[in-house]
Amino acid sequence: MIKLYLTILLFPIICFSQDYVDVLKLGYGRSFQNNFEGAEGSTYISTLEANLTLPIVLNKNNAIITGGIFSRNKLQLYPPQNGLESPFTNLYSTTLKVGLSSTFSERWGMTLVFLPKIASDYHDVSSNDFFMGGFGILKYQKRENVLYRFGLYSSSEAFGFYTTPILGWYSLSKDKKIEMDIFMPISVDINYTSGEFTYGFSYFGIGRSFNIEQNDLNQYVQLNSLEFAGYAQYNRLFKNTILRAKLGYASDDYEVHTYGDKIDFGFIAFNFGDDRQQNNPKIQGSMFFKLELIYRIQL
């Protein structure tokens, strides 16, 4: 009875996607050593993440998507100065998810989600820390196990307006062992399941910003990250609970800029009209590990 209820509850969201839904994802990660380019010293980056998705059914073809995303990135933005270590900075982001998932026919569906967020060091939070983003995805079900996606993601950031097209697909082999979940250029997940374990490769690319106040200066941090990892996943930790361990390389660069210094326009990985002066040395990439705990509902 419970499984039937969950199937009805989540049908508008998953009928054009996987036969499962990740309702809650918790993660902790840490890099090994991020060197400062052209300067002595290094830092490490630790991350905490939580992602919650809760649907509200309107009818058999439409559901409201609600939830939230929280993250905290902790690192040193500057190398040691005069023999003294620079302080660690906490960069927080809290995002609200509000959207609509609809199915039009057996082949076509659409998802629209708005993503307002507050992103800063959370010192003296103001309207300057508020940013608005969102995405729209048009979905086409070619076969029972093959889905195509076409969409657009856009966001206002401290460094300016950013947008990227989304092209991708989802496929599952007939024996349900090989899965591909592609959202280019944002994410890729390819995995193989054997019994209680899943082994895979993941990619995640992101650009975001955080307002900060340091030394009585109003600045912001622009994070540009490309994360590549292999992972092993235990599918039966508890009922509906998955434990995933990742190991990989991330090119995390946290650029500090003066508040109000912006680009003209950002498209995919390209910045147009960018004559900004970076205030801190470039932070180089590093190997990292990450543990994720996922509450997944099978349908």
- pLDDT above 60: residue 286: yes
Structure tokens at 181: 């979940």
User: What's the pTM value of the predicted model, to 2 decimals?
Assistant: 0.89
Q: Check residue 11 and report its DSSP letter.
A: H
∠201-117-284 over CA atoms, to 5°?
A: 45
Structure tokens at 86: 């620079």
Q: Residue 70's beta-bridge partner residues?
A: 50, 94
pLDDT digits (tens, 9 = 90+) for 68-117: 999 999 999 999 988 788 999 999 999 999 999 999 988 999 999 999 99
Domain count, the chain: 1
Would you say 266 and 207 are in contact if contact means Cβ atoms under 8 Å apart? yes
Q: How far is CA 294 from CA 53, 98, 192, 242, 244, in A?
A: 12, 21, 17, 5, 8
Of 86-100, 131-145, 264-278, which gets the smallest average pLDDT?
264-278
- Domain enclosing residue 104, as ranges: 2-298
Would you say 261 and 255 are in contact if contact means Cβ atoms under 8 Å apart? no
